Amino acid sequence: MDKTAWYNLQDLDTLDTPALVWYPSRITQNIETLVTMLPEVNRLRPHIKTHKCQEVTALMLAKGITKFKCATIAEAEMLAMSQAPDVLLAYQPVATKLQRFITLIQTYTTTQFSCLVDDLSVAQAIATAATQHKITIDVYIDLNVGMNRTGILPQKAEELINALLELNGISVKGLHAYDGHIRDQDLALRTENCHKAFIPVFDLVSTFSEKGQTFQVVAGGSPTFPIHAQNPQVECSPGTFPLWDKGYKDAFPEQAFEPAALVLSRVISHPSTNRICIDLGHKSVAAENDLSRRVHFLNAPDAQFIGQSEEHLVLEVSDIQDFPIGKVLYGVPIHVCPTVALYERAYLAENQFITNKYWKIIARDRKIML
């Protein structure tokens, strides 16, 4: 192993494995890269689902990012605790979630909150609850542009928007469209498919503009970020960029982000000839992909994946002598977002040493205080 490689760490005797390790200098570099990819920082509304962490949020705030997106009440609360000025809950709050959202609004009064709506009955419930609490809740209309997960079809949204504009207690601020299905590795094809998907979205914007109603469009994730960044009408919502991962680095090489989060594990057994077992089970790294597409080991790139269980991963290697018991493997997650959610804290690496500091991933919990 190259001891000068960026990931290599000295003095790991006090670090138990498996462990999530973040490299703050790389996180900062990734945030700086993001900010340079579009002309106005106020067009950024990054999703914080990947890091779920106050300290990373603070790094973004320091770079002038003031708008954020999240998917859970806990993530929204973490952002408010971090004094984020503007937070969009990219979820339609129903039942108990609506009550928690209102409590959040009433508790953190210096943060401007908003949420998604794609259904009239839900909008009416939000409006009624807001009126009862003497507040107005900002909403974005969630549009289905082909992901087929949530949202109303743009062609059917005009009637819904007109109805919402008549309701007291809510204020329609704009349109939201997540295009996570557009993942073509070829940037030209991805761009073409993205533009096609958003034709009805901007038709809707034009329709209401003619009526004197201006709507902000919040759109995209990481794959289409470079495309939406070119459109001044769009607030962009990438999320994976602070930590990046092997999956996106391979799929979208035009984006200059670098992996900043690793899972460290150790060889714990030699069960048979040329097979090793490490302490990285599927409770320690995202396991929704096929076995061979869960983690990439920087210092064992040719290892073959044999089997994984809750606390173990068995690998086949060419020379077992290169993998003595206790050897540390440095793994880049294929999918970093659910991997981070498996850990309560991220240990910090600086100047090729593990520091005595860590950052709590507080929004991995379903509830912080509210």
Write out pLDDT tens, residues 238-254. 999 999 999 999 999 99
What confidence category does residue 210 fall into, taking pLDDT thresholds of 50, 70 and 90?
very high
Mean pLDDT, the chain, whole residue set: 97
Domains 25-239 and 260-364 share a fold: no
- Model pTM above 0.85: yes
Fold of 25-239: TIM Barrel (3.20.20)
What confidence category does residue 1 fall into, taking pLDDT thresholds of 50, 70 and 90?
low
Fold of 260-364: Lyase, Ornithine Decarboxylase; Chain A, domain 1 (2.40.37)
Domain extent listing, the chain: 25-239, 260-364
Say if residue 194's pLDDT is above 60.
yes
Give me the mean pLDDT over the 298-323 stretch. 97
Q: What is the DSSP letter of 41?
A: G
Compare 11 and 8 and report the one with higher pLDDT. 8
State how far the Cα of 209 lies from the Cα of 215, in Å rounded to an integer.
Answer: 8
Share of the chain above pLDDT 70, in %: 99
What confidence category does residue 323 fall into, taking pLDDT thresholds of 50, 70 and 90?
very high
Give the tokens for residue 13. Answer: 């005797």
Give the model's pLDDT for residue 356: 87
Give the model's pLDDT for residue 93: 98
Say if residue 212's pLDDT is above 70.
yes
Closest CA to 160 of 118, 105, 129, 207: 118
**Alpha-helical regions (H) of the chain:** 24-36, 54-62, 73-81, 96-107, 120-132, 157-165, 187-209, 225-228, 246-251, 336-340
Give me the mean pLDDT over the 330-336 stretch. 99
* Pairing mode, strands 304-308 and 67-70: unpaired
